[in-house]
Amino acid sequence: MCSIKFKRGVLKKFEEEDLDDLLRKRLKDSSELPGALWHIYAGKDADKIREFLQKIAKEQGLEVLPEHDPIRDQSWYVNKKLRQRLLEEYGVKTCTVIQFLGDAIILPAGALHQ
């Protein structure tokens, strides 16, 4: 019973994401078990993402040191609201992928991901 509640909770969370039709269809297939949610960004957008994260940190009253790299410290999760801002303010698109159990995910060289 617990695993059914867990799967429903995971499915609800994943369904809130910006997914293509194929991923949505796989989510509804009861034989497919989602394992991980990935947000992938083009490597060419690293400087824009870095600038965006520094901007968000300043908005939250956090100290931003010049030598600090918010991408590499892995302390940020860019949620749906922040991903929308990143697109609107910096033109950075996110590719959202669900990794189902048994799937392999291959990231392009230099791609940023969370």
Structural contact between residues 19 and 97, judged by C-beta atoms closer than 8 angstroms: no
How far are the Cα atoms of 21, 66, 72 from residue 69, in angstroms, in the given order?
A: 35, 8, 6
Share of the chain above pLDDT 90, in %: 41
Predicted pLDDT at 1: 43
Q: Which residue has the tokens 């048994």?
A: 102
For 53-61, which contacts have Cβ atoms below 8 Å and span 24 or more sequence positions? Answer: 53/78, 56/82
pTM assigned to the model: 0.81
Q: Residue ranges per domain, the chain? A: 1-113
Predicted confidence (pLDDT) at residue 2 exceeds the cutoff of 60? no
Could you report the per-residue pLDDT of 62-113, keeping only the tens digit for each? 888 878 888 888 788 899 999 999 999 999 999 998 898 899 999 989 998 9
